[in-house]
Amino acid sequence: MPVDASATEGLRGAAAQVLASVLDIGRGRLELVAVELEEERLRVARLFIAAACALFLVFLSVVLLVALIVLVSAPEQRPAVLAATLAVVVSGAAACVWRWRRLASSKPALLEATLGELHRDHEALAGAQRA
């Protein structure tokens, strides 16, 4: 049976449209990957900033502790002043550690949205093949 030239052109056109659609879907998925990687980079930067804050406050608490022991002259007030200053600095350090742990534990799965979209694409293609 001879193949009609218009049928061949129709098949080529359909194949080109399918390829263009696949490339469009792939481009969209790559853009989603880029967005998710940027979000992860920003989350890691916030973790480092929170850790630096906590370390600074721990260092400051040690310095203040030493300064209070050396500089406070009234022996009867040493414990109260030392306790109050230490409580403030330790509270700040505890708040930083709490914030850092919360940031670290709230990590979403890497590329979660991209993998979800690829899964939906797969299901759609499998459903189209069954139909």
pLDDT score of 37:
85
Cβ–Cβ < 8 Å for 102, 51: no
Structural domains in the chain (count):
1
The pLDDT of 86-109, averaged and rounded, is 86
The pLDDT of 103-116, averaged and rounded, is 75
For residue range 37-88, list pLDDT tens digits in order. Answer: 888 899 999 999 999 999 999 888 888 877 876 676 688 877 787 788 788 8
Is the pLDDT at 130 greater than 80, yes or no? no
The pLDDT of 115-119, averaged and rounded, is 76
pLDDT score of 54:
92
Backbone angles phi, psi at 4, to 5 degrees: -70, 135
CA distance linking residue 37 with residue 32, whole number of Å: 9
CA distance linking residue 103 with residue 97, whole number of Å: 10
Domain extent at residue 53? 5-130
